[in-house]
Structure 1
Amino acid sequence: MSWTENIPTWQLVLLSIVGYVYLCRVLRYRRLQQKHALYPYKNREDFAKMTNQHAYEIQKYLFGVEFPFTMQKALEFALFRTYGIPSISSLLVKTKQLSEKQFASKRYADTVVLISEFMAWSPEAERTNAAIARMNYLHSLYQKKNLISNDDMLYTLSLFATEPCRWVNRYEWRQMTEMETCAMGTFWKSIGDAMNISYTPLTSSSLGWRDGLEFYEELHRWSLQYEEKAMLPSLDNKKTADETTALLLYDVPTSFVPTGRAIVSALMDDRLRKAMMYHPPPSYIQTGVETALTLRKLALRYLALPRPHFLRHDIISEKADENGRYHRIEYESEPWYMESNTRNRWGPQAWFKWMGGKPIPGTEGGLYRPQGYLIHEVGPKSQEKMGLREFEEGREVLMKAGRGSCPFSIGK
């Protein structure tokens, strides 16, 4: 006789549920402990020794395996948040790169590609430094004309460093640990160094920071202060936000777009909403969004097993094709740089796009560059064949900079 035969069914079901919840919790926290055990940073004193190589590995794990959905959305909204600064949005309106429908999706895809390139590979990898060199060249076109200020560059950097942590702490199944937050500060400090951003607006810039966590905390405080004086209502903000919101709601049926816009507004704080000149969402939308995100948090914490590595979230191809080009391997709006293969043309996403009358990879006469991209050509069409010399010089400087070391131990 089985020992379970004398136990009521409801008790067996309850025991199974409790056991599964316990298993999820044990496996999730065991992986957290195992990941932290890989690195020699056990206390605050150790953080000062964190290398950029280790910081890169930690942030890649966070984005790819631990919190892929939340961190990806946080980066998207970090970029969106910069449009609440009139000096940033006015330049985008002037260049039409994110304020006009015919340019917005390409500009957005190019931004995703370059950021993904320097986040996906080691700090000393050629692809990483090629992406930063190309980004620096594109920025230099406007910096030479004093159209981009150092404060705006530093503010943008601050959002990419802090918004993912803020979103995780608010919407995910657990909080960021101090080591993980230190890694984010260390990684983005190194990116700022590579971009030649001046940290003089930060109080401790003359003395330096003891570690990535201290840098992160001061950068976050400065960012909030900058928003108080610089995030102001502007029609340029609204125009840029409208086109970006249209990209975020690209696959939403027309009849549901107003609801989608209300959901986007619900994810904004009051300051950003006022700067974008957006209306507050109806209370039921605000409550619904917060409830859905809370339920997701609880489901992940108690009902979801840890994501296995083979299901990691990647955005760009690991290897170049026979022509030396790379591809995106996922997209949300238009299929820029997506390879025209069987999976991309006939997979579930392609069918969904096709039924909605949206373009799929390989259609539109090659408009969306299914042949992929060369890093030194990413950017506005007018600049695709420009800046090769500056790109090569910049990449060479970065390759020789030893960017895998600790950015706080070499007097930076």
Structure 2
Amino acid sequence: MGVLGGLAHPRRYANLREIRTLDPERDTDRIVWLTSRHEFPWDYTQGTGIAFLRDYGIPSIARLLDRTRQFEDDGVKRYDDTLLFAEEASVEGIDSERSHAAVRRLNRIHGHYDIPDDEFRYVLATTIVGPVRWIEEFGWRRLDPVELRALARFTTRFGELMGIKDLPSTYDGYLELLTSYEREHFAFDPANRRVTEATLRIARKTAPRPLRPVVRRVTIALMDQPLREALGVPRQPAWFAAAVRAGLRLRGRLLRLAPPRRTAYHHRPSTYPQGYRLGDLGPASMLDELDHRDVSAPLES
């Protein structure tokens, strides 16, 4: 059965039809916006969240995050800021002044730490592989090759603006980068578990109230075995993991019956109920310095 076949709302594939008329090199921003903010907003966010957990399976990354205590002491702000930086980079296009300003600020934050390029490349790979894997398993349709090419181009351009070198240019390249890096570097460390548990507490706080009692177990159930072992979290019963995945697949099938979103999804940060400005984003301890100190950061035009 083709991607446009099967029982679905009569307008369900309207965005996909538009996407297939676009050029992933020239119309990258439009394709990424439609895919992430209209077609799969919830899936994209969940896939990104699971992807961040993969970072904690790398002990050197987890130890740095553990030392900063941002997840432990100010976790919801850290969660909100991460999603808002991504939104700032995409809402007006990756090469807009708004995006460049956000990436400059992100570079200044990262400039406080000694982070090697291979870790930057790996973390960047998780931001594309995580959402794609989630959508491929739980989305209401599969991603089109045009979407994969646009997502890869957007990811590479974001990395270039961060000054990261030797990046892949295709989704398959990012997938290979991620799998080979994990094969070599995944290992358990107590810091992995501490940052994971802090993040699971953030997930519980930000989840809808009825789901909070099961958020931790559901999140762990969605982890593959190498990740779960690297993070040091307990295996969930097979029946529970199967039920979680079946429920998410059912949600995807039911979404085919819904019309496409008319308005783009925007993250609603609980940290900033009255709204935010770019100067609000970042670790609280750095805000004054970020606003008033002129710190150079890599940003290629």
User: TM-score surpassing 0.5?
Assistant: yes
Q: 1:283: Cα distance to partner?
A: 2.1
Among residues 271, 274, 277, which one is paired with 1:336 in the alignment? 271
What secondary structure, in the 3-state scheme, does the structure 2 residue paired with 1:219 have?
helix
Q: Paired residue for 2:261?
A: 308
Q: 2:287 aligns with which of 367, 381, 384?
A: 384
Q: Is the 8 A contact 2:138 2:248 kept in 1?
A: yes
The corresponding residue for 2:90 is 119
Return closer, same or farther for 1:75/1:391 CA change in 2, 3 Å cut-off: farther
Aligned to 2:76: 105
Q: Distance in 2 between matches of 1:80 and 1:119?
A: 23
Q: Is the 8 A contact 2:11 2:260 kept in 1?
A: no
Choose the corresponding residue for 2:203, options 229, 243, 248.
248
Sequence identity, in percent?
A: 26
Q: Does 1:276 align with 2:231?
A: yes
Q: Which residue of 2 aligns with 1:6?
A: none
1:130 counterpart = 2:101: yes
Greater relative contact order (CA < 8 Å, ≥ 6 in sequence): 2
Match of 1:238 in 2: 193
* TM-score relative to the length of structure 2: 0.89
Q: What is aligned with 1:298?
A: 253
Taking structure 1 as reference, are residues 93 and 238 closer, same or farther at Cα in structure 2, changes over 3 Å only?
same
Q: Counterpart in 2 of 1:95?
A: 68
TM-score between both structures, scaled by the size of structure 1: 0.66
Choose which of 126, 135, 142 in structure 2 pairs with 1:168. 135
In structure 1, runs of 5+ residues without a counterpart are 1-20, 42-46, 203-211, 316-329, 340-371, 402-412
Alignment of 1:174-323 (within 5 A): 174-199=141-166, 212=169, 215-250=170-205, 257=213, 259-301=214-256, 304-310=257-263, 312-315=264-267
Question: Cα deviations across residues 236-270 of structure 1 (Å, max 9, x unaligned)?
Answer: 0100000110111125779973x432211111110
Local SS of the residue matching 2:288: coil
CA shift, 1:107, in A, is 2.0
Contact between 1:133 and 1:391, CA under 8 Å: does it hold in 2?
no
CA deviations 1:259-310 (Å, max 9, x no partner) are 4322111111101100110111112211210110121122123xx2322323
Q: Distance in 2 between matches of 1:233 and 1:84?
A: 7
Contact 1:376/1:391 (CA < 8 Å) preserved in 2?
Answer: no
Distance 1:255 1:383 in 2: 34
Distance in structure 2 (CA, Å) of the matches to 1:280 and 1:22: 36
How far did residue 69 of structure 1 move? 1.1
- CA distance in 2 between partners of 1:255 and 1:217 (Å): 34
Q: Give the letter for the 2:95 counterpart.
A: E
Give the partner amino acid of 1:120: V
Report matched runs for 1:145-160 at 5 Å: 147-160=114-127
Work out whether residues 14 and 260 of structure 2, in 8 Å CA contact, stay in contact via their aligned partners in 1. no
- TM superposition shift of 1:125: 2.1
Tell me which residue corresponds to 2:8.
24
Alignment root-mean-square deviation, CA? 2.5
After TM superposition, which residue ranges in structure 1, 4 or more long, deviate above 3 angstroms? Answer: 251-257, 387-395
Name stretches of at least 5 consecutive residues in structure 2 with no aligned partner: none
Does the aligned pair in 2 maintain the 1:131–1:376 contact within 8 Å? Answer: no
Offset, 1:162 = 1.8
User: Which letter maps to 1:337?
Assistant: Y
Give 3-state SS (helix, strand or coil) of 1:148's partner.
Answer: coil
Find the aligned partners of 2:294 and 2:150 in 1 and give their Cα distance.
Answer: 28
AA paired with 2:196? A
Deviates more, 1:116-125 or 1:215-224: 116-125
Whether the 8 Å CA contact 2:58–2:187 is kept in 1: the answer is: yes
**Number of positions where the alignment pairs a residue of Structure 1 with one of Structure 2:** 296
Partner Cα distance (1:390, 1:156) in 2: 27
Distance (Å, rounded) in 1 between the aligned partners of 2:82 and 2:52: 9
Which amino acid is the alignment partner of residue 20 of structure 2?
Answer: H
**CA distance, structure 2, for counterparts of residue 23 and residue 158 of structure 1:** 34
For the structure 1 residues 377 and 290, does the alpha-carbon distance in structure 2 shift closer, same or farther, using more than 3 Å as the test? closer
The reply on whether 1:139 has 2:113 as its aligned counterpart is no
What letter is aligned with 1:338? P
Equivalent residue number for residue 364 of structure 1: none
Any conservation in 2 of the 1:133–1:394 contact (CA below 8 Å)? yes
Aligned in 2, Cα 1:254/1:94: closer, same or farther, shift over 3 Å?
farther
Q: Read off the aligned partner of 2:238 and give its amino acid letter.
A: S
Deviation at 1:374, TM superposition (A): 3.2
- Residues 194 and 230 of structure 1: is their aligned pair in 2 closer, same or farther, counting only changes over 3 Å? same
Give the drift of 1:130.
0.8
**8 Å CA contact retained: 1:83, 1:89:** yes
